[in-house]
Homo-oligomer: A and B are copies of this chain.
């Protein structure tokens, strides 16, 4: 038997998603749990990045993971093997999570004993950016093969994120990807964006990211 639960979540009934998201954040604050919403295109490396992040932080933080997927359990199986509390959320075809769907997941996961919960959102640069999930911080991954023009073409997600991981820098030599240009375009969308070039595969640059995340969790859960 697999070590994770699969939850079929339903579209939210709440008319006001933003108010619902604020309510979730207040609840998380009260129980000292930090929620990170992790977004990217399909195949940008969300799961690999998450596994590295868990590896770096699981000695000091109690971590839980919610894997949102349209229909599979591929990622939840990988995360369960990493030894943290995890559940799989099935969105039933939905292309994003809203606050109500996130709350169903948090309830099933059980967050009282957790310092950090990561929501791995559906792989999509468009729809997830439109819904506040109740996360304390939003992170996105853009991978080198996707190209440095993405902040021009998918502006909203760069605007709503607090942190941008530029992943797969190990393959920079094989792509026409300009790190300076992507920084410039992304900061045009969001001047406060924290940017970390990383390779989740080799581990390069990952400690700057995990240091940032650790600080955010400490600050939020200090009470």
Contact = CB atoms under 8 A, between A and B. Distances in A.
Interface size class of A (residues with CB under 8 A): 35 or more
B123 A153 contact: yes
Shortest beta-carbon contacts, A-B, top 3: A43-B146, A145-B145, A95-B126
Total identical chains: 2
Interface of A: 41-43, 69-72, 74-75, 93, 95, 122-127, 130, 143-147, 149-150, 152-156, 168, 170-171, 174-175
A64 B136 CA distance: 45
Contacts of A171: 145, 171, 174-175
A185 to B, nearest CB: 11
Given A93-B130, A145-B145, A146-B43, A123 B174 contact: no
A69 B154 CA distance: 9
A153 B74 contact: yes
